[in-house]
A and B are shown apart, each in its own frame.
Chain A
Amino acid sequence: MIGDWIDVGALAEIPARGARTIKTGNGEEIAVFRTGANKVYALVNRCPHKHGPLSQGIVHGEAVACPLHNWRISLATGEALGEDRGCVPTIPVRVDAGRVLISRVAMLATAAAAAA
């Protein structure tokens, strides 16, 4: 587990055009998305609008539509798209040999921010 990257599971465990979540222990969750083109992104699982769980939204292209009020959030930047304004933190993530790896530093920061 120790290293710059944490192995959080296999890519195959995340449905294409879907997401899975990781609990950080302090109430905050991280949503790991997989697009139709098999690109992987991680965001804090909380819409900047009314804190909807983005992991449950419909993923299309490189965006997710929040399940609560249909805000569209860019998976790459965490920014709200279109007319809406707001941003959710992104977490560096990469895939190596079919495993999803998340930046340890960013995970710690996310957990710490939630605790604060």
Chain B
Amino acid sequence: MLSPTLREHLVVIGNGMAGCRAVEELLARDPGRFSVTIFGAEPYVNYNRIMLSPVLAGEKSFDDIVINGPEWYRDNAIELISSDPVTAIDRAAKTVKSQSGRTVSYDRLLIATGSDPFIIPVPGKDLPGVISFRDMKDVDHMLTAAEAGGDAVVIGGGLLGLEAAHGLSLRGMKVTVIHLMPTLMERQLDEAAGWLLKTELERRGQTILTGADTAEIIGEGKVEGVRLKDGRTIPASLVVMAVGIRPSVALAREAGLAVGRGIQVDDHMVTSDPAVLAVGECVEHDGNVYGLVAPLWEMCRALADGLVDKPSGYRGSVTSTKLKVSGIDVFSAGDFSGGDGAEDIVLRDASRGVYKRVVVRDDRIVGAVLYGDTADGSWYFDLLKKDEDIGSIRDVLIFGQAFAQGGGQADPKAAVAALSDDAEICGCNGVSKGKVVASIEGGACTLDAVRATCKASASCGSCTGLVEQLLAVTLGDEYEGERAVKTLCKCSSFTHDDVRREIVAQGMKSIPEVMQKLHWSTPDGCSSCRPALNYYLLCANPGDYVDDQQSRFVNERLHANIQKDGTYSVVPRMWGGLTNPRELRAIADVVEKYDAPMVKVTGGQRLDIFGIKKEDLPAVWADLNAAGMVSGHAYGKALRTVKTCVGSEWCRFGTQDSTGLGVKIEQMTWGSWMPHKFKIAVSGCPRNCAEATIKDFGVVCVDSGYELHVAGNGGIKVRATDLLCRVATERQAMDYCAAFTQLYREEAWYLERTAPWVERVGIDYVRQRIVDDEVGREALTSRFLFSQSFSQDDPWAARAGGADREQHAHLGEFRPIEMLAAE
């Protein structure tokens, strides 16, 4: 062993997890190789930074999280210079200088400065009471603030922010989390798991605001609250900024080392200067920077191997994350964003609040997200890191290690057959495998029969697959499967009716909630189910539901009809087909101003302006709004037109004021979203010039009153209406119209027109609900009118006023000529 004076001097900048771990690794390999000096900015010995959250939450003390106490430094002759950050590196002289003015020379220098919290540059960020969550000082600050109680705001709904919020909440503060993105922890979790997490945190009393952008932190002399860009203000005596971290590279950059996003190192953690090494969160290796602890251990091993001349090399890390919030189990690893050739295996168990998703590509696990049951996280992560072929256990992979390796039952049927008789199949109704098999053997040889006899799979339906497998196992070849009823789409085993019923029964309020509670087999649905769910939720929660624009078909998202060349057509509403010089002039002006190549009279008695560009739509609408016109919803699964004839006011045959009634009906029904498009007409006499008997709802005026017709169609399959009933007054005609519309809105399947719907349920059923059941009719009418009180805002006016501007504007423009010229 070299005598201490002859050893090379290793100076470590940073007394944190990376710096000290590197020294530990080095000591383990060759304790006599270097004499070591460690500079630390904080006044502490080496502690475990990732355990600050449990300290804040009161689950651990500072002593519990110390990794290396004073005796470690003493026993290994390590000089610790704490509370004295290094301020400069002189690479030519091979010295470092500290804040207190101390100069220390080195043979080898290790930079382990970690990362700095990212502070968003908003007004008020420097007010007293605005802190980050990075070190022990921040924790002390939070603990002091929590003693006084009151309101805290945490900006950032990532790992760190949520742990801070959890701790402050346990300490008795009223906590609001402000998160810019639509879902929590979006870098680690997919939307479904993020929604589960949000729901649980809200249940625990935190307020979670997603999609919320901080405008400023307000307060006189100290923080008093946070104002969001949408104008909301949240009171706060403490603001914790936890939006992210940045590698701490200032020192290295000033010393002239190669710095990208982090300090650039090779596989042996050597920087652009061979005498200087770097490790931990401050480095950039092969284009990657890491903000988690696991890569650090691997880096330190490679670093120590290199320093003792037995180079091994660091090859980058695959990382996994766990949220340290007690009672909430969240795990994420690898790449769960899917991608080319990736397949999702999803298991949702609503009754236990479990969501598991494993992403597989070429029979290898590439990513996993687990919520609620993370027991198998380490197993999946292990398979992922080892790049193991999981082809042979693919079918049972999602059930976890115990199941997948339980006797090599790669066949799910064999796995079910191997279950013991008292294994629980249906959690909702507590039905064991033995009971299910007994009822099958007792003659229940279909899913429905099993449901009827022993209630298995009769409630939430999540065990339907297991029951089907038991049918197959018990009946053998006699059972060929069923599911004759069409499911909503391939993402779900539920029918449209099931989904609609459960949304209402369970009071569901969002698409991710439906997908979780009804066990969707895909992470975010498909282009069939998303628009359907959006409509069902909208219909079930009038005034309450936040419409998901990304679940709307293009026409409804842009409030215009897309044409084959990618331009749009625009149809302003003309109430009952009436117009006037002002409206016609405005339309003519728009046609000229925006160079619309064609204007056409539609079948619904209005004018269609063709060839409008996406980016011109708001301006076109503003011009039409100025003349008093609103959206005609010619693009929507919605009330389209109310076609009329001129009626008794002009026509010598007219029996009632059909035009006036048509206008009134259109004013009552416009703006309502429907399962499919919905057309109404009012004819003034049985000559029926408005063609009311091929509409979804048609009124034919007669001397004695009004004939009400339903479920006609003039499209692919022409169908004349069924006569619903006759009524005496205009008021009744309108009330029945509202009731029928609402019945269709509430009970038809998405994309099912009234004609197939009425053929499916029968006109007798509709008559019973609308005509015979007076109380029911009135309730339907009032539900329709209540819903309408929220839906009659002109969407064009909102867009013309600047709402959803990003739907119409390009993200940017690229001018190659200028680019080339600038080169």
Contacts and interface: CB of A to CB of B under 8 A. Distances in A.
Interface of A: 1-2, 6, 8-9, 12-18, 20-26, 29-30, 32, 35-39, 50-53, 56-62, 65, 67-68, 70, 72, 74, 76-77, 96-97, 100, 104, 107-108, 111-112
Contacts of A112: 816
B815 A25 contact: yes
B292 interface: no
Contact of B557 (A14, A50, A56, A76): A56
6 contacts: A18-B550, A26-B816, A51-B565, A58-B527, A61-B344, A65-B527
A22 B810 contact: yes
B554 A37 contact: no
Contact of B814 (A52, A59, A70, A111): A111
Nearest to A28: B814
A60 B811 contact: no
Interface stretch (B11-19, B184-192, B219-227, B773-781): B184-192
A71 to B, nearest CB: 11
A60 B527 contact: yes
Nearest to A9: B811
Contacts, number: 138
Given A58-B551, A100-B811, 15 more contacts: A12-B181, A13-B811, A17-B551, A21-B811, A25-B814, A35-B337, A39-B338, A52-B562, A53-B562, A58-B550, A61-B344, A61-B522, A61-B526, A62-B340, A62-B342
A33 B550 CA distance: 12
Nearest to A72: B527
Nearest to A115: B816
B336 interface: yes
A24 B440 CA distance: 65
Nearest to A56: B554
Q: Which of A8, A32, A37, A65 has the most CB of B within 10 A?
A: A37
A38 B530 CA distance: 18
B811 A14 contact: yes
Interface string B324-357: 0000000000001111101010000000000000
B480 interface: no
Given A16-B182, A107-B816, A112-B816, A62 B550 contact: no
Interface in B791-822: 806, 810-817, 819-820, 822
B566 interface: yes
A13 B183 CA distance: 15
B340 A57 contact: no
Q: Which 8 A-B pairs have the closest CB atoms?
A: A20-B811, A65-B527, A37-B337, A76-B340, A67-B554, A39-B337, A17-B550, A58-B527
A30 B813 CA distance: 10
B73 interface: no
B723 to A, nearest CB: 37
Contacts of B549: 15, 18
Contacts of A50: 564
B812 A104 contact: no
B530 A51 contact: no
B119 to A, nearest CB: 14
A39 B338 CA distance: 9
A88 to B, nearest CB: 14
B812 A22 contact: yes
Given A1-B822, A60-B526, A62-B337, A25 B813 contact: yes
Contacts of B806: 13-15, 20
Nearest to A37: B337
B165 to A, nearest CB: 21
Contacts of A60: 522, 524-527, 530
